[in-house]
Amino acid sequence: MYLQDYFWFLGAILLCMIFSVFANAKVNGAFNKYNCVTTVSGMTGRETVLRLMDSYNIRGISIGRIKGKLTDHYHPSQNIINLSEATYGNNSIAAVAVAAHEMGHVMQKQNGYLFYRIRTALVPIVNFGSYLAMPLVLIGLILDLFANASSPEIGFYIALVGVALYGGSLLFALITLPVEYNASRRAKKMLVSEGILTQEELRGANEVLSAAALTYLASLLTSLVYFLRFFVYVLTIFGRREK
């Protein structure tokens, strides 16, 4: 790879790191701010999930408690919503907002939300592609060196398949954005309709969930930079770049 490409990559990664730090600081700041504000309803994160599951007739989902803060997640294959220690038994606006967000993912699965189904389908592809990307590029390079005149481009095309597989992580990060935004939108709607939060309290929940969305945007930008670096690298070793 050319020297200027390294400087481009390092500069882009530095910007992504700065944005990631900002996004994490934003979400932690919002969570800490509203984690000190108790809800009028007095409901905890766990009670919020139970209320929403009962209201929307959701069955077969268990609630787990895990260590940490903002480590909450829904595990669809195990049918469990794992709430962090900061969310599980806390009756703050922040805890309730995060718990409802995870219920938003449950509702996406129940309703067959398109982007959620696409993201779920991408998981094995991304895992598979991460192992095959570089080997395919190496195989393509070997074939490019020894291919006969009848198929001089075969090695390059195989390498491009590796690039496409490597790009699966970028596609996954891209699809994650609408999935997370939609889950937050569902969460806010459910919190108000079920009387768990008032309209005034919803402003705090919105601040927490909007800040959390920035972390997914940071992840997408980072994935984009790494994909472009890998793509340029492949073009370079195959001599397909303009001099």
**3-state DSSP call for residue 152?**
coil
For residue 59, the 8-state DSSP code is -
Residue 77 neighbours by CB distance under 10 Å: 7
What is the Cα–Cα distance from 123 to 179, expressed in whole angstroms? 14
Q: How much is the average pLDDT of 114-143?
A: 85
- 104, 61 Cβ separation under 8 angstroms: no
Q: Does residue 159 surpass a pLDDT of 90? A: no
Q: Does residue 41 surpass a pLDDT of 60? A: yes
CA–chain centroid gap for 86, Å, is: 21
Do you know the residue count of the chain? 243
Q: How much is the average pLDDT of 41-61?
A: 95
Long-range interactions of 82-90: CB distance < 8 A, separation 24+ = 83/45, 83/46, 83/49, 86/31, 86/35, 87/45, 88/44, 88/45, 88/46, 88/63, 89/44, 89/45, 89/46, 90/35, 90/44, 90/45
Q: Does residue 147 surpass a pLDDT of 70? A: no
The whole-chain average pLDDT of the chain stands at: 90
Q: Does residue 5 surpass a pLDDT of 90? A: no
What is the Cα–Cα distance from 109 to 135, expressed in whole angstroms? 35
Q: Does residue 98 surpass a pLDDT of 90? A: yes
Classify residue 152 as exposed, middle or buried by CB count within 10 Å of its CB (0-12, 13-18, 19+): exposed
For residue 38, the 8-state DSSP code is B
> pTM of the prediction?
0.87
- 183, 105 Cβ separation under 8 angstroms: yes
Per-residue pLDDT band at 66 (split at 50, 70, 90): very high
**Predicted pLDDT at 242:** 47
More confident residue, 237 or 66: 66
**Predicted pLDDT at 2:** 61
Q: Is 102 in the active site?
A: yes
Q: Does residue 241 surpass a pLDDT of 60? A: no
* Closest CA relative to residue 34, chosen from 212, 217, 213, 218: 212
**Predicted pLDDT at 161:** 87
Q: How much is the average pLDDT of 226-242?
A: 79
DSSP 65-102: EESSSS--EEETTTTEEEEEHHHHT--BHHHHHHHHHH
Among 140-144, 155-159, 228-232, 238-242, which range has the highest average pLDDT? Answer: 228-232
**Predicted pLDDT at 243:** 44
Per-residue pLDDT band at 139 (split at 50, 70, 90): confident
Q: How much is the average pLDDT of 16-26?
A: 95
Marked catalytic residue, from 47, 102, 180, 207: 102
Q: Does residue 95 surpass a pLDDT of 80? A: yes
Q: Does residue 154 surpass a pLDDT of 50? A: yes
Q: Does residue 135 surpass a pLDDT of 90? A: no
For the beta sheet containing 73-75, the strands, ordered from the edge strand earlier in sequence to the opposite edge, are 62-66, 80-84, 73-75
pLDDT in tens, 191-204: 999 999 999 999 99
Looking at residue 111, its amino acid is N
